[in-house]
Amino acid sequence: MTNSKLVTILGAGAWGTALASLAIANGHQVRVWSRQSSQTLAEVIQGADIVLSAVSMKGVRAIATQIQSLPVSEETIFVTATKGLDPETTCTPSHIWQEALPTHAVVVLSGPNLSKEIEQELPAATVVASSVATAAEFVQVVFSSDRFRVYSNFDPLGVELGGTLKNVMAIAAGVCDGLQLGTNAKAALVTRGLTEMVRIGVHWGAKMETFYGLSGLGDLLATCNSPLSRNYQVGYQLAGGKTLAEILAHLEGTAEGVNTTQVLVQRAQQQNIPMPITEQVYRLLQGEITPRQGLLELMLRDKKPE
């Protein structure tokens, strides 16, 4: 690629590394930064066309605040690829980035992207979304290739919430498979899970149709059907009788769905949004009910039209 850009990736976990490999394969100059790096944040973001954050949710605010006080080129586009919610404020990562850097374009990157498959160079597609169309298109060009198809979208909140909310449903899907409840039960769970994601998302201000795209339904299908998903693993292993503490101690990387479930329940109660699946996942993670009780309660809910 002749038109090489400078891309800085914050976060050297599986997802950050996978995104770095895609940009390198397209001929871009890539710097990867993590807390263990010898280089400072100021050094790695200097002159960057794109700064992409793939840090876990708990690190987002600290890093955004640090960058806020550094000299950053006005042209730099910030991309967030974190799927989670801030436990303090219930904000999404893009909200935190936009608050810290109000004059910069912020782009959300999200989709059915299991990092292990991307590392194996298997084909995948994703969505980049921003209220600044030119910024989304710029990021689209940098990351698009014959094995990574990038679509643009102008509903950043919907794209971001799709990737975040489906992690809760993936825990439930893991439970379903762990209990060997069969394909019918799983299909019902995932379909009702999508309905719940739409209900929350629209209430939050996202567009309903975004949830039927790659970053909603697409990511939901990938995560609810793959043992590679950390959130699915949490549910699957809970159904196998392990404790949450045991599971998290042995998990590679972060299962963002655990924190997201808690933040969502808090927000749903404040705003009176019915979220039966999220509610049962929350009770299960708290140790209040067994996996089997949780699914039984969902089956026994009041009869209602679809």
Confidence of residue 1 (pLDDT cuts 50, 70, 90): very low
Average pLDDT estimate for 154-182: 96
Burial class (CB in 10 A: 0-12, 13-18, 19+), 17: middle
Average pLDDT estimate for 28-46: 96
Give the pLDDT confidence score for residue 2 in this predicted structure: 55
Name which of 13-27, 125-139, 291-305 the model is least confident about: 291-305
Confidence of residue 176 (pLDDT cuts 50, 70, 90): very high
Average pLDDT estimate for 149-173: 97
pTM of the model: 0.95
Q: Please confirm, yes or no, whether 304 is among the known catalytic residues.
A: no
Give me the CATH code for the 6-154 domain, please.
3.40.50.720
Is residue 21 pLDDT above 80, yes or no? Answer: yes
| Percent of residues, the chain, with pLDDT higher than 90 | 94
Q: Which residues 6+ apart lie within 8 Å of 241 measured at CB?
A: none
Average pLDDT estimate for 31-55: 96
Give the pLDDT confidence score for residue 253 in this predicted structure: 86
Instruction: Locate the domains of the chain by residue range.
Output: 6-154, 164-299
Strand partners for 152: 128
Is residue 301 pLDDT above 90, yes or no? Answer: no
Report pLDDT digits (tens) over 200-247: 999 999 999 999 999 999 999 999 999 999 999 999 999 999 999 999
Average pLDDT estimate for 143-161: 97
Average pLDDT estimate for 46-52: 97
Q: Which one of the listed residues 116, 166, 186, 304 is annotated catalytic?
A: 166
Report pLDDT digits (tens) over 87-130: 999 999 999 999 999 999 999 999 999 999 999 999 999 999 99
Give the pLDDT confidence score for residue 55 in this predicted structure: 97
Between CA 280 and CA 294 the distance in angstroms is 5
Average pLDDT estimate for 168-180: 96
Query: What are the residue ranges of helices labelled H in the chain?
Result: 14-25, 41-45, 57-68, 93-100, 115-119, 133-143, 156-178, 183-204, 219-224, 230-239, 244-250, 256-271, 276-285, 291-299
Give the pLDDT confidence score for residue 25 in this predicted structure: 97
Between CA 13 and CA 120 the distance in angstroms is 16
Axis-axis angle for helices 93-100, 57-68 (nearest 10): 10
Q: Per CATH, is 164-299 categorized as 1.10.10.10?
A: no
| Percent of residues, the chain, with pLDDT higher than 70 | 99
Q: Compare 304 and 4 and report the one with higher pLDDT.
A: 4
Between CA 193 and CA 170 the distance in angstroms is 9
What's at 228, amino acid-wise?
L
Confidence of residue 298 (pLDDT cuts 50, 70, 90): confident
